[in-house]
Amino acid sequence: MQTRVAVMAVIVEDDDAAEKLNAVLHHYGEHIIGRMGIPYRARGINIISIAIDAPQDEISSLAGKLGNNHGISVKSQMRADTVSLIDKLAREHRLKKKEYLALLENASVEEHVHAATLADKERRRIYGTEVFIRGLIEVGNICRNNCYYCGIRASNGKCVRYTLTDKQILACCREGHEIGFRSFVLQGGEGAFPVERVIRIVSEIRGEFPDCAITLSLGEYERDEYEKMFNAGANRYLLRHETADEKHYGLLHPGEMSYKHRVQCLESLREVGFTVGCGFMVGSPFQTLENISSDLKFIEEFSPEMCGIGPFIPQKDTPFGGFRAGSADLTCFLLSLIRLIKPNILLPATTALGSIEPDGRLKGILAGANVVMPNLSPVEVRSKYILYDNKLSTGSESAQNLEALKRSLASIGFSVAESRGDIKTSDGKN
């Protein structure tokens, strides 16, 4: 993740707070370039200037930890500007790319909270306090691609491969339907399922469960193939664009994978009639804040009905296995911004968010998300779908533990919706 140089002004009004200040600064010592203190005896305060070179989320975290101590206040000349930009986004649902970048570069914990508050207001206006559930079925981990970040990439010889049978997939749907799911997501590696098989499976699910929504997340196909899937009964398609910067896309994927084709697939899905979802990783290798500002502009302009984002988490058997994971805090801030860009969007709190932080999914909901996707896959294959390390699969993110999920959501004032969870209009109508 890109770092930036920042200067932070800290005012210490209580001498007893000095020990707490020093403890916090010691914790962030690797990022601090230097500091200078000026005692101002006339007012009984100490003014400390801190120079720091760190990722933006670390800068925000430092500011938040300092400001949470009694007797310590943190001043930023950019705060008023960032607040006004967040307010503008809430009103107009769009910003210039440079304004998105300014938000990402300068927003502190306080601005993150402000954005989350506005995002929550918009989500409640349209969807109330209901959270939609999708039963995730990981249909197979065979993949023709070699994305550098993904554990099921074709060249990963340590990945134990599997493909669910039609019978197994239908059994997952039956179990989910009995539990209370009215929306299923079929996710798998690209190229493992020929279009004819996708059509057959979708037709079987549609025939047995006419009251349910079917989402596919199976990668790139041609337009006519997407049309056949749609005509067979699929409703939604999730295809992450991964990054809206073509150069950055090339750093994450081998040369035979095309950014232009990925975007064309998204356009084709929309033309066919799918409810379309895109998305990207937060903190992926070589990603800059400018890259993320491009992602936000892409979401604004493409205006998807769904958007899936989550922190990058390395997988040890990939070329990016040694890279640092993305930030849960930045992910949640971006969820808030995406909600403000498109207030009626279907926005998941992803398993990756819950994998990187114990209460990550709840934080995502509080930041503006309104979808969770508990795992309906057969228990024996869940550990084989290794997109990243330490992926959760048997706790409240498991479909079989739906009651635990309900209790968890209830603890923050939300409930599980019993519907299939279709997108609503901006005025809250279906």
Each residue of 184-223: pLDDT tens digit?
A: 999 999 988 999 999 999 999 999 999 999 999 999 999 9
> pLDDT at residue 77 above 50?
no
Q: Are residues 57 and 186 in the same domain?
A: no
- Taking the whole predicted model, whether its pTM rises above 0.85 is answered as no
Residues 241 and 155 in one domain: yes
Q: Is residue 103 part of a domain?
A: no
Range of the domain at 398: 124-416
Q: What is the CATH number of the domain that holds 397?
A: 3.20.20.70
Shared domain check, 135 and 64: no
Number of domains in the chain: 2
Task: Kindly state whether residues 63 and 136 are assigned to the same domain.
Answer: no
Do 222 and 356 sit in the same domain of this protein? yes
For residue 249, which of 147, 153, 320 has the smallest C-alpha distance?
Answer: 147
Query: Per the domain annotation, does 321 fall within a domain?
Result: yes
Q: How far apart are CA 274 and CA 256, in angstroms?
A: 26
Please report whether residue 235 resides in a domain: yes
64 and 164 co-located in one domain: no
Query: Which residue, 38, 59, 75, sits at the end of a domain?
Result: 75
Question: Worst-scoring range by mean pLDDT, 124-133, 307-316, 385-394?
Answer: 385-394
Q: Which residues are registered as beta bridge partners of 215?
A: 185, 236
Question: Where a domain ends, among 35, 58, 75?
Answer: 75
Instruction: State yes or no: pLDDT of 45 exceeds 90.
Output: no
Q: What is the pLDDT of residues 48-67, one digit of tens each?
A: 888 888 886 788 778 778 87
Given a cut of 90, whether residue 262 has pLDDT beyond it is: yes
More confident residue, 362 or 9: 362
Domain boundary pick from 41, 57, 75: 75
For residue 282, tell me if it sits in a domain.
yes
Same domain, yes or no: 279 and 409: yes
Comparison of pLDDT for 44 and 337, the residue scoring more:
337
Same domain, 257 and 148: yes
Which of 85-93's residues contact partners 24+ apart within 8 Å by CB, and which partners? 86/111, 86/114, 86/115, 86/118, 86/340, 87/118, 89/337, 89/340, 89/341, 90/118, 90/122, 90/340, 93/300, 93/340, 93/341, 93/342, 93/343
For all residues of the chain together, what is the average pLDDT? 92
